[in-house]
Amino acid sequence: MSSDRIHGRVGRTYHESDNWFETRPRPAADSPNVIYVVLDDVGYADLGCFGSEIRTPNFDRLARTGLRYSNFHTTTMCSPTRACLLTGRNHHSVGMRCLANFDFGYRNGRGSISHRAATIAEMLGSAGYANFAVGKWHVAQTDEITAVGPFDQWPLGRGFHRFYGFMNGSTDQYYPELVEDNHAVAQPKAPEEGYHLTADLVDKAIAMLGTHVSLAPDTPFFLNLAFSAGHFPHQVPKAYMDRYDGVWDCGWDVVRQRRLDRQKAMGLVPASTELPPDAPGVEDWDQLSADQKRVAVRLQQAYAGFLEFTDEQLGRLLDFLETTGKLDNTLIVVISDNGASIDCGPEGTTNVLKRFNQIPESFERNLAEIDEIGGPRSNSNYPWGWAQVSNTPLRLFKSFTHGGGVRDPMIVSWPRRIADKGSIRHQFHHVVDITPTVLEVCGVEAPEVYKGVSQMPVHGTSFAYTFDAPDADTRKDAQYFEMFGHRGIWHKGWKAVTKHKRGDDFELDDWELYKLDEDFNETRNLAGEHPAKLREMTERWWAEAGRYDVMPLDDREVRFRAKAKPDSIRSRSRYVFYPQLEAIPSSAAPLTQDISHRITAEVTIDPDSEGTIVSYGNCGGGYVLYLKDGRLTYAYNYVGEVTRLVSAPLTDFGTVSLGFEYRKTGMLKGNGALLVNGVRQAGDREHQTLQRISLAPMFIGRSGMPPVCDAIEGEFRFRGKLRRLVIELGDDREIVPPDGDID
């Protein structure tokens, strides 16, 4: 019998026909709304409800109406944690062994999520949920986040109905790279008008949800809200920094002990917990000069102000949910994607681009720029001592598989369902367990086939049982960890872990053994006392690694200087850009580093024409070619040191070519010259170049913000006719430049 006969009858006329109306899938009655709130590089002890002196009343509010998890773990890096969170599968299995910035050429390291692993948005969407993503994405290959896609790994390609945020691992808080749905958009106002990305994200989240609950109040929603805080750059209005004047003058050792004392009083950690020794590279506070302490404190104030500002914006979203009557039946899960970072030098920095170029930090530069910290002209990150405080009482940091990298705060709030409000749960769980929990409470089955693609099983274990069972044993059996060759394995309260040294034989790594049920922060290595147990655990690691597609282990530094894929936008040696293309993400901009190259703009100008021809970067580093006061100028910003080439007054007008040519003379250095109608201008000048030019975009016909050099104000758009811009690369490269962020 045909489906038409089952679902109505069609005759010659309506007299012989029966109506039938197709219905969309609908979630079960009273299904909860779901919100994932994802913080970035926020350590275990950074929220007030986890022992911090940083003011986070709205995160604390969620803890009071829900549960805190003291034994929650992540992958120790950003993109892998997000891949686990969105799919409920382990990160190597779904293709995200490291960051979305790299395709390793292995199926476990594609830099995007396999379509064999449907996301939570795809699964809930099939059940009738409305899905929204706001904030950081960073699970699509970063050379595929240009205006031409492909879009199958963008949020709308992975089950979300709306998206507003940024695609890469980090962005400027005052001048972000914004995407709405599948296209780039301009920020709604300037920093001088009060713009800050975090507030903008919450504005958009409220707008999306407000529209949804107005038009479809009975349809539950899922929101993935991924904040920038506390990833560098730490940028926030000065007033939020000033609130912490004097708070950290006592130094990181004192603050770390105070946080531990609070954690003990809260019951987050056992009363017997002691602080481990300082990590290598953490400076002795008492040995710092008064000026060094002053800079260190100000850098921490920027981080803390950023986090408090984020908490304040979250509060606006919670108030909106309460006003609309949705808060009571909304399951909110708050996590950080990994532990606190040591992404820059031990003393911190006002310009994170130095780290990407392996340029030593300059305390003198940091001191000179102390008043810029937190503002639009500063791209700061804190010293390692404060990162260690963030991770109190755990060992090491982001990227390592010890506790400081993988053990993170988690809050679960669901007022209607969780009765034991304000309590703590100590069961071991991992980020892969969050989505299975949501599927269980929403009554949604993970599909075996999604859109014609066979699905891998969900790997995580639901922790919904913990809502009512504070003392129940964890239902999770084992969890492996791996990042950059650092490895770990947890099994029934035991943990084996190793800190790998690049280039060493993986088989000779020194494994440590801890009984986490009795040693919260890995301070008593039992490897010598229990060699059989250690052998069992390391063998289990290899078994789990085989099961979840971890191999091959790869610790080569080349991962940060990987050649572009053969079909990548960055694999070409010649680029022709037209003015309709305004912005190019840094991950897709031509690789002009350490190679001879030529930039040629075909323009039509008159004596009054001026403006930016091409700009790559901002005041932290980059280059710009522009026309001003009748002269052609090329400026190269070497992390704050600007080299300029300025032409004689132009005498050719109408249709002309203006350009710049760089002839490499040595590694990361060469001679630059300006070109007018192909003729080299007098005054060739040698300058040093960066391995990584900038984290900010390239723009055609306008300046980046804040501009690469002070001679430019604002966007300084080109006033003339820019027909096209051609960039041609030579073949004399010595250093393959980094293909993406280290995040």
- The predicted pLDDT at position 529 comes to 97
Contact indicator for 247, 305 with CB cutoff of 8 Å:
no
At residue 243, the 3 state secondary structure works out as coil
- The predicted pLDDT at position 3 comes to 44
Sheet of 512-515: strand order equals: 478-483, 486-491, 494-498, 512-515
Q: Which of 108, 111, 91 is nearest to 562 (CA)?
A: 111
pLDDT above 50 (res 445): yes
CA distance 331 to 435: 12
Instruction: Please calculate the CA angle 63-69-91 and round it to the nearest 5 degrees.
Output: 120
Return phi, psi of residue 637, to 5°. Answer: -100, 110
What token pair was written down for 261? 């004392």
Contact indicator for 179, 166 with CB cutoff of 8 Å:
yes
Q: How many CA atoms lie within 13 A of 150 on its CB side?
A: 8
Q: What digits encode the pLDDT tens for the residues 235-248?
A: 999 999 999 999 99
Instruction: Kindly indicate the confidence band of residue 687, based on its pLDDT and cuts at 50, 70 and 90.
Output: confident
CA distance 253 to 369: 25
Which range is least confidently modeled, 69-78, 329-338, 359-368, 464-473? Answer: 359-368
- Across the chain, what does the average pLDDT equal? 94
- The predicted pLDDT at position 333 comes to 98
* Strand runs labelled E in 358-498: 410-413, 423-425, 429-430, 449-450, 453-454, 478-483, 486-491, 494-498
Return phi, psi of residue 668, to 5°. Answer: 60, 30
- The predicted pLDDT at position 738 comes to 53
pLDDT above 50 (res 361): yes
- The predicted pLDDT at position 455 comes to 98
Q: Residue 679: count other Cβ atoms within 10 Å of its Cβ.
A: 10
* CA 396 to centroid of chain Cα atoms: 20
Share of the chain above pLDDT 70, in %: 97
Contact indicator for 209, 322 with CB cutoff of 8 Å:
no
- The predicted pLDDT at position 5 comes to 47
What is residue 449's DSSP assignment?
E
- Amino acid letter, 527: A
- The predicted pLDDT at position 141 comes to 94
pLDDT above 70 (res 359): yes
- The predicted pLDDT at position 2 comes to 41
Q: Residue 726: count other Cβ atoms within 10 Å of its Cβ.
A: 15
Question: What stretch of H or E contains 676?
Answer: strand 669-676
- The predicted pLDDT at position 743 comes to 45
CA distance 594 to 516: 48
Q: Which long-range contacts (CB under 8 A, 24 or more apart) does 536-544 make?
A: 537/489, 537/491, 537/494, 537/495, 537/496, 537/511, 537/513, 538/489, 538/496, 538/511, 540/478, 540/489, 540/491, 541/480, 541/487, 541/488, 541/489, 541/496, 544/478, 544/479, 544/480, 544/489
Q: Dmax of the chain from CA atoms?
A: 93
CA distance 233 to 492: 39
Q: Average pLDDT for residues 684-688, to the nearest whole number?
A: 83
Looking at 456-605, list the stretches that DSSP marks H as alpha helix, in order from N- to C-terminal side: 531-547
Instruction: Kindly indicate the confidence band of residue 569, based on its pLDDT and cuts at 50, 70 and 90.
Output: confident
Q: What digits encode the pLDDT tens for the residues 555-566?
A: 876 444 445 667
Q: Peptide bond before 150: cis, by omega within 30 degrees of 0?
A: yes
Rounded (10°) angle between helices 57-64 and 290-323: 50
- The predicted pLDDT at position 268 comes to 98
Q: What digits encode the pLDDT tens for the residues 179-220?
A: 999 999 999 999 999 999 999 999 999 999 999 999 999 999
Question: What stretch of H or E contains 238?
Answer: helix 238-242
Enter the pTM of the model: 0.95
Q: What digits encode the pLDDT tens for the residues 390-429?
A: 999 999 999 999 999 999 999 999 999 999 999 999 999 9
- The predicted pLDDT at position 739 comes to 46
Burial bucket for residue 86 (CB in 10 Å: 0-12, 13-18, 19+): buried
Instruction: Kindly indicate the confidence band of residue 734, based on its pLDDT and cuts at 50, 70 and 90.
Output: confident
Contact indicator for 661, 600 with CB cutoff of 8 Å:
no
CA distance 743 to 79: 9
Q: What digits encode the pLDDT tens for the residues 79-120?
A: 999 999 999 999 999 999 999 998 888 999 999 999 999 999
